[in-house]
Amino acid sequence: MTRSVQAVAYRRPSALESAAGEQRLGLETSRGATPTGVEDHPRFFTGFLTSPQVASAGLLAVADVAAARYYQRLLRASLDPVVTGNGDRLRFESFSGCGGVYARLDVLAPGLDGGEVGHGTTNVDVNNPLREALSRIGSDDPLHLRVGPEELAVTTLDGPVVEKKVPLPDRWLRGFAEAQVIAAGFDLRAELPAAEAVRFLRALPRGGGRGSVGPRWVVPAGGALRPTTRAVPGAVCLPGPERLIALQRILRHATALRVYGPTVAGADATASAWEAVLPGMRLTLTLSPDASRGFSGEGGVLDALATDEAAEDAELISVLLAWEPRIDVADLTTASGLTTERVRAALVRLGTSGRVGYDTAEAAYFHRELPYDAERVEKHNPRLRAARALVAAGAVRLDGALATVTAEDGHAHRVRDEAGVFSCSCLWWAKYRGGRGPCKHALAVRMVRRGAAAVELVGVRVDGGVR
């Protein structure tokens, strides 16, 4: 697995302190993106949390996921959560070390009091002493939250710096992109009231996922979820149910549990999202289709990465983003002059560099800027690199709806295009049947077909007198 070392620097460790009869939670920020450019320690919020105990439990749940591995558990995992200020809310996000669980705590406007929310994205320090202090927050303790440095603390350039060297795998970055693409295909499948949500979640197994056999499924039944042995219409996949353990922290505060998933098509396991509705906030865990299968290999972004048109459209759309908490595709379509399909493809492309996320509760994208060098996402995608190499080598021959791709070893693969849906004779296709994105041969064919279509379009324009 390709890794880099990310230096995350803070002015001081985050801490929870008592002052004047109230608890003061100071979350220290690292270098991050803001509307005015990159800042070393941006400030996003100073004010009170209306539900201190709930917010503390939610933040700890996000930190739990960042520190966890649900597959190959003996390997170490420790990544600081990412915080985004969207003007009306704060979003705390993390990924598990194994790349198969994405967590997000949305602290909405009703959960915040007494301060304006800024705009931008950065890491926040959640250390062990802070975790212990947050776990002791009582229901009646007033909690003042500061996300960012104290103004007086940055009057000198030589102030103390707490620096962490974080091993950052490329699959973690790709996971952010893949998770939002997959979640964009989800619909609300069930909503459980508080008592039933608690019953259901407490009954889930807590053991390791490696011993589980096949995907589990649940189906809505009234205001409950009942297990089913197969993927019947309306069912939702529950892959690796022990990976929902982070929700245990907020069970007593939850007012409902919402379940999201794609339309069932076959018996293969699918991803799903589980949202705990809390006073003034939401905590969502999105699970990959299997505990041993991280989001980074799902291949949902490959089509957007493979087209130069989407790259150009993404540049245009990026100029129109303004740290909005809810990106309106129709507004972007009007402002950009692009079709709805091209706007959505551009948003997928922006997602590959961490510049947009997807909120299943609002069925909408949101703007953020991950504080990492995300150029590696495309560079280190093996299927995309292989497809580009096949195109460059002239290995693709088109023949109507069929195409022949001659691999490096001289073996010829047949790729069929049926109304934009590709299939291939290779082993990858035989194993996944498109469930993990296109194979390198189908990607190469799509690139060549798009190139041929572009040439034909230019020819028509020239013949018509347009140059």
Question: Which string of DSSP letters, residue by residue, matches 316-358?
Answer: HHHHH--S-SSB-HHHHHHHH---HHHHHHHHHHHHTTTSEEE
Give the Cα separation of 342 and 298 in Å (integer). 21
Same domain, 361 and 415: no
Res 101 pLDDT > 70: yes
In a domain, 269, yes or no: yes
Give the Cα separation of 220 and 225 in Å (integer). 5
pLDDT at 294: 72
* Phi and psi at residue 367, to the nearest 5°: -90, 130
Same domain, 416 and 347: no
Q: What are the CA-CA distances from residue 58 to residues 52, 54, 78, 252 (Å)?
A: 10, 6, 18, 12
Res 254 pLDDT > 90: yes
Element (H, E) at 32: strand 32-34
In a domain, 332, yes or no: yes
Same domain, 158 and 105: yes
Domain boundary residue, one of 235, 268, 300: 300
Task: Please give the structure tokens belonging to residue 275.
Answer: 């949202």
Same domain, 366 and 408: no
Same domain, 59 and 183: yes
pLDDT at 76: 56
Half-sphere exposure of 218 (CA within 13 A, CB side): 25
pLDDT at 361: 96
In a domain, 167, yes or no: yes
* Selected residue with higher pLDDT from 387 and 275: 275
Give the Cα separation of 108 and 272 in Å (integer). 23
Res 464 pLDDT > 50: no
Given the DSSP bridges, would you call strands 32-34 and 37-39 parallel, antiparallel or unpaired?
A: antiparallel
- Please name which of 258, 263, 153, 146 lies closest in space to residue 200, comparing C-alpha atoms: 258
Asked whether 107 and 84 are in contact (CB, 8 A), the reply is no
* Residues spanned by the domain of 206: 8-300
Q: 346-383 burial, b for 16+ CB within 10 Å, e for fewer?
A: bbbbbbbbbbbbbbbbeebbbbbbbbbebebbbebbeb
Asked whether 216 and 237 are in contact (CB, 8 A), the reply is yes
**Range with the largest mean pLDDT of 56-70, 311-325, 407-421, 445-459:** 56-70
How does pLDDT run across 390-418, given as a tens digit for each residue? 998 999 999 888 999 998 878 899 999 88
Asked whether 16 and 127 are in contact (CB, 8 A), the reply is no
CATH number at residue 256: 3.70.10.10
To which residue do tokens 């197969």 refer? 230
Domain boundary residue, one of 246, 281, 300: 300
Same domain, 143 and 30: yes
Same domain, 327 and 416: no
Same domain, 255 and 279: yes
How does pLDDT run across 172-208, given as a tens digit for each residue? 777 777 788 889 889 999 999 999 999 999 988 776 5
CATH number at residue 333: 1.10.10.10
Domain boundary residue, one of 376, 402, 428: 376
In a domain, 31, yes or no: yes
Kindly give, in sequence order, each residue whose CB lies less than 8 Å from that of residue 282, ignoring residues fewer than 6 positions away.
105, 106, 108, 275, 276, 361
* Phi and psi at residue 196, to the nearest 5°: -70, -35
Give the Cα separation of 448 and 360 in Å (integer). 34
In a domain, 351, yes or no: yes
* Phi and psi at residue 338, to the nearest 5°: -90, 165
Same domain, 371 and 392: no
In a domain, 1, yes or no: no
Give the Cα separation of 384 and 376 in Å (integer). 12
What is the Cα Rg of the chain in Å? 23
Same domain, 294 and 311: no
For the chain, percent of residues with pLDDT exceeding 90: 37
Same domain, 296 and 264: yes
- The average pLDDT across 306-333 equals 85
Q: How many domains in the chain?
A: 3
In a domain, 2, yes or no: no
Task: Kindly report the pTM of this predicted structure.
Answer: 0.81
Same domain, 349 and 391: no
